[in-house]
Amino acid sequence: MIILSLNNLTKSFGGLVAVAGVSFEVERGDVMGLIGPNGAGKTTVFNLITGASRPDDGHIFFDGRRLERLKPHRIVHLGLARTFQTIRLFPRLSVLENVLSGAHCRMKSSIISSLLRLPAQRREEKAALGRAMAELRFVGLDGLWRAEAGSLSYGDQRRLEIARALASEPKLIVLDEPAGGMNERETLELRDLVARIRAKDITVILIEHDMSFVMEVCNKIVVMENGAVIARGSPDSVRRDQRVVEAYLGADED
Amino acid sequence: MEFFIQQLTNGLAVGGIYALIALGYTMVYGVLKLINFAHGDLFTLGAYLGFTSLVSLGLADQLGVGAALALCVLLVMGLSALAGHVLERAAYRPLRKSGRLSAVVSALGASIFIQNAIMLLWGARDRAYPADLLPPMTVSIAGQPVPLIRLVVFAVSLLVMVGLYVFINRTRMGMAIRAAAIDQGAAKLMGIDVRRVVAVVFMIGPALGGLAGIMVGLSYGQINFTMGQLYGLKAFTAAILGGIGNIPGAMLGGLLLGLVEAFGAAYVSVAWKDALAFFVLILILVVRPTGLLPERVAEKL
Amino acid sequence: MTGRFPLPGPGRIAWAALAILFFCLPLMGLPPNRVGLLNHIGLYAVLALSLNVILGQAGMFHMGHAAFFAVGAYATAILNTVCGWSILATLPVAGAAAGLFAALVAAPIIHLRGDYLLLVTIGIVEIVRIFLINDPFGLTGGANGLINIARPVILGFKITRPPHFFYLIWGFAAVSMLLFHWLENSRFGRALNFIREDTVAAEGVGVDTARYKLMAFVIGAVWAGFAGTLYASYMRTISPGSFSFWESVVLFMIVILGGSGNQKGVLAGAFLVVGLPEVFRFLKDSRLMFFGAALVLMMIFRPQGLFPPRRRTYAPPPEAS
């Protein structure tokens, strides 16, 4: 079953074409890697999927709905959550509150019931706290729930972003360079974490430069260069693709 | 036709004053991305300094009108520049590393301080520029008698603006200001002393504001310690109108706002004249926050 | 942990004692003019607490709060003097009118960046003031305003003297504080903080930022409208001069000086900004000048305000700890 499909997506910034007619599909249960040299348009594709920017042309279908005209928060509400390439936590708020920000869109209490602290609001608040703690336990940060998010180590901040995204109960999660800035041990733990996310029946798309990570974690890979898809398929087939080899040898040595 | 000529010249004169004040906002904003809330009060300070030098020191009696005015303008521009420099050192420089909100609140505090200091020094009542200083001369335009002072105000503001434009585009300092406005970090790397640029900008702006203060005193006779608030807000509107950070834009915005006000008051309603500027401000920010001129970042400042 | 009802700590007890003492002040023979000053502080406190939702919690630079205050005060004054409504009956209408007005004017401007929003809100205050002066439909009484506004009658008791108003105003302030405290500790309050910290990230994790910003404005405005009702019936006369840009500046300063986002700080700010100038009457005309200087110094040396925002406290479920 296809959960996400991109259809001829195009986006340019002031004459510079960042994404030129990109199409691909993601099946439910996939862990898909989006790779390509710097400037290939990967993050732009992510921004289009998550509603951070709007395509000039083309369509995005997610779970039977069209996304390209929706605001980011609506897309999260539909079950598509993200993390940011440059970590965007709320650094001055606590770890727990950061996770609660993800849970926000699944809570229903109105402003009036919050203002009057009605029983239903208190019950919901308690349940949300429990769920947030569960997500923290899932990524292994439950011991740090009181800490200020900005005080965490780089790797922990990345995991906190994942917990925050998971708290919105997504069907699909989009990770922008999740292993960026992580050391070897943290990367190993992340590999395990992605597997456990997949085991929860959550589809994953990730951008990553660490090739061994991508090849091991993903079951499908899409390769972009200069705003277009140049190859797709299983890790093995992509590794052998002539154009991919050229793109990487030509542009990016690491 | 008679009415039209009167409103047109009136609008251009007021617009020239707005434009002069707007330049101070736009230059500081260009370099620091800060709205200098105290700028309007420096303009008021200029008006009062002009009052003191013309009336209290009696320059006009001793030197004759022409020389007195010239000296007054030089004195006021110099002192206003000094005040701007002190303001920057005291209220803004210590906050360079703090958040935006801190700088905004500090600017507000400085505005309150200057306004009330002026009140303490010169009193809360309106002050009047000498009415007989300039002969009530009129010029005939299309058969209509137009007060000469309006044309002088317009001409002076135009001249100053052209001068500033040349300074910004043709001198080393002007280049440094432009570079700092585009990217402070890069400007620093290229060896530009950004602190000096900021200091200079904080002197040029108030000097022009002070000049505008004298012109208001000469054209309307009355000055008041709170007038900087309204003039300041309107001048800022002018700066936004032309695209903040954009020097020709500030000139254009000022003149446009002056004309809109003059004709609005004439053909719509005098009672709503002051509200008009705010309607324009809100409209422009909601519809086209980059201002009327097309945004060309590289040419800003 | 001391079970379901933990004993209050010494800090809380001290605050409660202070509050009780404060509420006894009018009974202990405080002269009426001093009670009058406390009433003024109370009105500003209610207004500043409502501004705190917008400025402190959501971090939006709103300097037009006097406009919402004016809408509430004029709604009460017009309904009372023209239509003969009782003051109490005008209260919900005043709140609703201010809230509706806020929803209309804030909707197109909430996306504006900090300092631009500040200027636009100043513009709104000025437009409202000029509107009131121009006496539309002969309803607002022009520059002279409206007079002979009635006193509030609660359960047959007519509130007339300053000590009566003391309990009305401060009672209202206390209830507001409690409700806002609850609001702060809910998904709504958190959402406003996410917006304040990073609007893009907040939107990206599923917060409808436009809606919450607007709701912050509406809630704040509704309360400012309520304050308008209290003010109109307390002063019995209102005029456009009471709702100037300057009033908005005072409210803005109360929130910033006290500590934006912290209700205790906002309360302290109200005492400081409204009360201290009265105490320092001997400084006479120069007190505002010192005030301006104090703002600058404050931003340099203690930008977070007297009382920095407090972290919310959470009791996580037992299995977590």
Stretch A188-203: mean pLDDT, rounded?
95
For A38, half-sphere exposure in the C-beta direction (CA atoms, 13 angstrom radius) is: 5
Please identify which residue in the block is written with the tokens 């105000």. B153
Q: Does B226 touch chain C (CB under 8 A)?
A: no
Amino acid at B242: G
Distance of CA C319 to the CA centre of its chain: 40
Whole-angstrom distance, CA of residue C119 vs CA of residue C236: 31
**Reported confidence tier of residue B297, pLDDT bands at 50, 70, 90:** very low
Alpha carbons C40 and C178: distance in angstroms, whole number = 20
Its pTM stands at 0.89
Mean pLDDT of A120-149: 93
> How many other β-carbons are positioned within 10 Å of the β-carbon of residue C29?
6
B142 inside 8 A of chain C by CB: no
Q: Which domain holds residue C94?
A: 31-244
B214 Cβ neighbours under 8 A, 6+ residues apart: B46, B47, B50, B72, B73, B76
Residue A98 to chain C, least CA–CA distance (Å): 9
Quick one: pLDDT at residue C185?
Answer: 92
Burial of A160 (0-12, 13-18, 19+ CB in 10 A): buried
Mean pLDDT of chain A: 92
**For chain B, which chains pass the contact test of at least 3 CB pairs under 8 Å?**
C
C215/C212 Cα distance (integer angstroms): 5
pLDDT top residue among B96 and A67 = A67
User: Residue C305: inside a domain, yes or no?
Assistant: no
- Kindly report which listed range (C2-16, C131-145, C156-170) carries the lowest average pLDDT score: C2-16
How many folded domains does chain A comprise?
2
Q: Does residue B175 sit in helix, strand or coil?
A: helix
Pairing relationship of beta strands A228-233 and A220-225 according to DSSP bridges: antiparallel
Q: Is the predicted pLDDT of residue C217 greater than 70, yes or no? A: yes
Q: Does pLDDT of B244 surpass 60?
A: yes
Last residue of a domain, one of A112, A145, A169: A169
Q: Which of A216-230, B133-147, C3-17, C307-321 has the highest mean pLDDT?
A: A216-230
> How are beta strands B127-128 and B222-223 bridged, if at all?
antiparallel
Name the amino acid, one letter, at C260: S
**Position C20 in a domain:** no
Do A109 and A157 belong to one domain? yes
Same domain, A134 and A75: no
* Encoded tokens for A170: 């997504």
In this structure, are residues C202 and C209 in contact, taking their beta carbons and an 8 Å threshold?
Answer: yes
The residue in chain C having the minimum alpha-carbon distance to the alpha carbon of residue B96 is C300
Tokens of A103: 């849970």
Chain C residues with CB inside 8 Å of A135's CB? none
pLDDT at residue C173 in the model = 97
Are β-strands A2-13 and A57-62 bridged in parallel, bridged antiparallel, or unpaired? antiparallel
φ/ψ bin of B141: left (φ > 0), alpha (ψ from -120 to 50), beta (otherwise): beta
Residue A54 structural domain: 1-79+170-254
For chain C, how many structural domains are there in total? 1
Burial class (CB in 10 A: 0-12, 13-18, 19+), B121: exposed
> C292: number of CA atoms within 13 Å, CB side?
23
pLDDT digits over C66-118, tens only? 999 999 999 999 999 999 999 999 999 999 999 999 999 999 998 887 778 88
Q: Tens digit of pLDDT for each residue in C151-194?
A: 999 888 888 888 999 999 999 999 999 999 999 999 999 999 99
- Does C280 fall in a domain? no
How many other C-beta atoms lie within 10 A of the C-beta of residue A183? 12
- Residues of chain C in contact with residue A53, where contact means CB-CB under 8 angstroms, are none
Contact C197 A90 (CB under 8 A): yes
* C263 neighbors C270 (Cβ within 8 angstroms): no
A195 shares a domain with A74: yes
Question: Who wins on pLDDT, B190 or C279?
Answer: B190
pLDDT tier at A16, thresholds 50, 70, 90: confident
Distance, in Å, from the CA atom of B29 to the CA atom of B242, rounded to the nearest integer, reads: 13
Is C3 a residue whose pLDDT tops 50? no
The answer to whether position C195 is within a domain reads yes
Q: Residues of C with CB below 8 A from A71's CB?
A: 203, 208, 210
- Predicted confidence at residue C81, as pLDDT, reads 93
Please state, in angstroms and rounded to a whole number, the distance separating the CA atoms of residues A189 and A194.
9
- A71 plus A140 within the same structural domain: no
CB C250 within 8 A of CB C44: yes
CB-CB neighbors (< 8 A) of C295 in chain B: 105-106, 108-109, 112
Is the pLDDT score of B102 beyond 60? yes
Q: Which domains does chain B have, with CATH numbers?
A: 2-299 (1.10.3470)
Is C206 within 8 Å of A168 when comparing Cβ atoms? yes
CB pairs < 8 Å spanning A and C: 115
Answer yes or no: is C313 within a domain.
no
Quick check: is C87 in a domain? yes
| Residue C198 with chain B: CB contacts under 8 Å | none
- Domain check: are A72 and A191 in the same one? yes
Q: Do C299 and B285 touch (CB under 8 A)?
A: no
Q: Dump pLDDT digits (tens) for C44-57.
A: 999 999 999 999 99
Summarised one tens digit per residue, pLDDT across range B257-296 is 999 999 888 887 777 888 888 888 888 888 876 666 655 4
Interface residues from chain A to C (CB-CB < 8 Å): 50, 52, 71-74, 76-77, 81-82, 84, 88-94, 96-97, 100-102, 104-105, 107, 109, 111, 114-117, 121, 125-126, 128-130, 133, 137, 142, 145, 164-165, 168
Question: What residues are paired with C158 via a beta bridge?
Answer: C153
Which SS3 state, helix, strand or coil, does residue C140 take? Answer: coil
- Pick the range with the lowest mean pLDDT from B63-67, C84-88, C127-131: B63-67
Q: Regarding predicted confidence, which is higher, B53 or C283? A: B53
Residue C15 tokens, joined: 């605050």
pLDDT greater than 50 at residue B301: no
Q: Are A50 and A176 in contact (CB under 8 A)?
A: no
CB B237 within 8 A of CB B257: yes
Residues of B in contact with C126 (CB under 8 A): 233, 274-275, 278
Burial class of residue B33 (count of CB atoms within 10 Å of its CB; 0-12, 13-18, 19+):
middle
- CB within 8 Å: B112 and C289: yes
CB-CB under 8 Å, B106 with C296 = yes
Burial class (CB in 10 A: 0-12, 13-18, 19+), A101: buried
Is residue C262 within 8 Å of C193, Cβ to Cβ?
A: no
| Residue B28 buriedness (CB in 10 A; 0-12 / 13-18 / 19+) | buried
Residue A216 lies in a domain: yes
Pick B116's closest partner by Cβ from C59, C120, C288: C288
Q: Strand ranges (DSSP E) for B47-92?
A: none
Asked if A130 and A141 sit in the same domain, the reply is yes
pLDDT mean over A86-99:
94
The domain boundary residue, chosen from A148, A169, A190: A169
A242 in the same domain as A129: no
Is residue B78 a contact partner of residue B207, using CB atoms and an 8 Å limit? yes
pLDDT at A254 exceeding the cut of 70: no
- Which residues face B138 on adjacent strands? B147
User: In CATH, what number is assigned to the domain containing residue A219?
Assistant: 3.40.50.300
- Calculate the CA B37 to chain-centre distance: 12
Chain C residue set in contact with A, beta carbons under 8 Å: 179, 182-183, 186-191, 193-194, 197-198, 200-210, 215, 219, 311-312, 314, 316-317, 319-320
Is residue B57 scored above 80 in pLDDT? no
Please give the mean pLDDT across all residues of chain C.
89
> Which of A136, A169, A202 corresponds to the end of one domain?
A169
Residue for token digits 């004298």? B214
Q: Same domain for A68 and A9?
A: yes
The lowest-confidence range among A169-178, B145-154, C112-121, C282-291 is C282-291
Which pLDDT belongs to residue C28? 84
- Judge whether A88 lies within some domain: no
On the question of pLDDT at A184 being above 60, the answer is: yes
Neighbouring chains of C at 3+ CB pairs within 8 Å? A, B
Please tell me if residue B98 touches chain C, with a CB cutoff of 8 Å: yes
Per-residue pLDDT at B182: 83
Query: Are residues A138 and A119 part of one domain?
Result: yes
Same domain, A185 and A160: no
Subunits with 3+ Cβ pairs within 8 Å of A are: C
* Residues A185, A132 share a domain: no
**pLDDT given at position B277:** 84
| pLDDT at residue C307 in the model | 85
Joined together, the tokens standing for residue A164 give 């925050």
Does residue A84 sit within a domain? Answer: no
Q: Is residue A89 part of a domain?
A: no
Task: Please report the pLDDT score of residue C26 as a whole number.
Answer: 84
Q: Which of C61, C119, C140, C244 to mutate to test the interface with B (most CBs of B within 10 A)?
A: C119
State how far the Cα of C40 lies from the Cα of C116, in Å rounded to an integer: 31
What is the SS3 assignment for chain A?
CEEEEEEEEEEEECCEEEEEEEEEEEECCCEEEEECCCCCCHHHHHHHHCCCCCCCEEEEEECCEECCCCCHHHHHHHCEEECCCCCCCCCCCEHHHHHHHHHHHHCCCCHHHHHCCCHHHHHHHHHHHHHHHHHHHHHCCHHHCCCEHHHCCHHHHHHHHHHHHHCCCCCEEEEECCCCCCCHHHHHHHHHHHHHHHHCCCEEEEECCCHHHHHHHCCEEEEEECCEEEEEECHHHHHHCHHHHHHHHHHCCC
Which of chain C's residues have a Cβ under 8 Å away from the Cβ of B274?
126, 130
